[in-house]
Structure 1
């Protein structure tokens, strides 16, 4: 049977899928195990009741395990949560006879007297039977009258009952070991289904459950799919990072998308997501291609005083204020949310939601998205909600392989010991290389010089292992190939490294340089050290340049680049204006040009005039003609 994705919504599962689900249990090695638990037995009872309800079969409102009848459905459901029912389910799973309510109360009384001590038991021995009879009479009256006799079931769970349940739980733990549905080594709980192939299972995210419901996920799924359970349930979704914010209050009930057109970038499941409230913000808080917020840069490198950094600091404060104001506006929704999912890129962003008591830090509803999300947008919120709330068809988990330790036949030593000895046997040159490369990458020139002097190493020290550093055999080669401009200058000018050393390919450090600024460091060193220092031609280094020449050259190159960029921008603006003008002309049309002499084309305009306007125009034309004749006569 094919399973449609639209039927896998956890708050509105198809009946066929819901009935076929079976919770999977695993041990600590991810091996599947059978575990008969209270949750499984109770879920079967609820499932049978739901099937009877859907098939319109009359229900007797009874518990087959405790052999108790009820007058209505609420009292029956509350009975399933009582200590009396749980205790009987435990006994039935151990193939023990179930107790009646009277026997259960007597068991409590006997254990209580044994816990209080022999004196208390001797004093209360005469009164125990009468008290038990009174309790039985009261409970039987309650059953006959209202069926709400188990609403205060937690009062029955005293120390004696806990001891009994602990004994049964301990016996089960000894038989099955640490078996649980949560031992999945993943953010999902796995469910078997007869609708899937043998190697496939359904996965549901653990983040959807709270601390109570996660112990019985199958019962929770049945409760979510109750007819009246998810109509008014809502959750909150928040994402913030890089100056972008997206938030929404989403309803657990899907929108009706029947008749919707298929969109290329939006699935039908995303179209069905129903946002009660949603809002997005964007503020310029991160410098382009730099990464990290301005506050993070200030904490790492000190406070900058540029116009851009000031603007970014202001926008960070403004974004914080906008989010907090929005949370205050949505406070009535947040108080009723089942879950609050939050994705914050850093601690500072997360702290925004915990200020002003909008969301408490210890709130159990506050959770993170158990998967990677993209830029905060409304579309990303829809995708994330669909990812969270739809069952996933995933491969069945494979058990963890046990790696056997193989001992060395010659020495009979543990592999860990052999590995430790191999690390000790590595050459001192490799250790020196690791330390030198680490200092070189960090730009710690003083420490690098001190390390070379301490270990009596030359600046042209050959890095090892040779196979790893075949193209960069010296520190100068390594610095040039990794664009460490400052360290190239220090190695040449201060530490007097030899630029003529070649690698196995015959390339010098100059040849390994990829950036122009690194090559300029070689040219500046050649100018400062002089031509007598070494054979610069063998080192392939370009003509010597002073710092002033390099600065002038870089300034000219920057100005040329800016001028070229400005000219390109100017051309693009002119082209945009021309396109805009052409589009405007197309909208207006070609139009009719006026006669240079000022005469009006009568054929084109008389038809659009009223009779009065036409007479007025004719009078004006006759007047102009008379005026023209008068001027001609005067001129003669």
Structure 2
């Protein structure tokens, strides 16, 4: 692949160039080429990175190098956090906002250290891109601007130039003319100033990037030793101790955040910062004439270190200087070799060769990799305020009436029969009689009558009293409330049958109250039909039931006694089987566990204890035999 210098492009190539427009409906004004071709990537292969704005690579090694770069790691972490990828130029500007370099480790190799990863994480947390607000009616998709401005030469050649080489006020459609202006030779040649400072390291150089008219004329005559395209005129590097190793950040930033440290290392770092500032400013003063003649000035420094170069008394640079640029790509630790690499990267033209069909295919893949715009959610309609229900003011008579009902329901639910009788004698007629329906404002959902309420509350005496007061047991219960209480209907009955107070009974004594009243007062109600009572219960039936209970209990007691007698006889037979094997000696000690046949030693013990003692004696005798 041909290598071109940005200030010495072939005239044939320069005349055939047209500006490439962005592949989307960007609202920036750009020149459109004759055919709608997408922006070509900076490689000659279809290997690309779908995260870093579709950048392509020539081989696998270049792809691996890109994946290890800080730019790629930052875009990956930013995308995981919901952000958007940035271009090389934007990433370079983000780097300048940090105090230390993303690669400002002890090594100048391409491999990042632990501090690199920490710097990338810090950069992600501090510089999250804000999502742009897009109205629902907007159909345009804005794409991030890349650091390169691309030009096309038919039929299949594309070149890329860094935008930083063009003047700031140059519009997008003026880049082609600006590129042609760069080819015009200058009498004294073109020169740049390049400065880098990070982590106490400084590197600076004055370089010549294009030849003057005489040198071009000599080179056209094919002299034996042609003048090189770039040349380093002056350079300087030095280092001061300003940052603690693997801690990051300068001592001044640490002092501003936590206060002045009093250690010896902190004093040395403060002195190093002052010495670094004085050395850089003295160097700028020595190079003031060369800096004045420079066409562009590239500075790589953080916000705090950037103040070293400008806006001080007698400074050679000012903040509003139109020549100031930042490096539009990631840089490593400031060294002379790094400055040479950056100079080569800026002055060499990026070349690729793609046909229009291949460019269109890559353009579609590039558009697919861009984040889709998120529509702002439509504002939710204001919630309608529910009208407040004003409480109804009750009269004194209504308040007394509600109080009586509440006391009545409470007495029935708690089974206070004596107080209920006294209240009913005084207020029964005013409350509507024994079959009066419970008002809805009471909030009782289980029953609608006093009889149903007493049955649900499982109050036997209150239920019997209400039935004796001639309460109607045939009044139906609301079905939903009855089913909610877990009342189940019997098999074979109609599932749509209305339940009554008897169906609400949860225990046998309550059901016996209904059956007993049905036997005593059979002519009061339709007990066995509408009231759902299965049968009457008379005094004789209750006595017969009691006799059966007594007989059943007596049978159980007799069986328990027989079982106890059998157990005692079994224990006695077991003791008798063990006792003949025990022989009592005529003389000797009478201790528990003493002689082999000591009957007196086990006198007064229970049969179980005697069996255990005999078992121990036999075990000891067996052990003695084994020893012999």
Which band: TM-score by shorter chain?
A: 0.3 to 0.5
**TM-score normalized by the length of structure 1:** 0.35
Q: Name which one, 1 or 2, has greater alpha-carbon Rg.
A: 2
Query: Highest relative contact order (Cα 8 Å, sep 6+), 1 or 2?
Result: 2
Specify which structure has the higher proportion of helix.
1
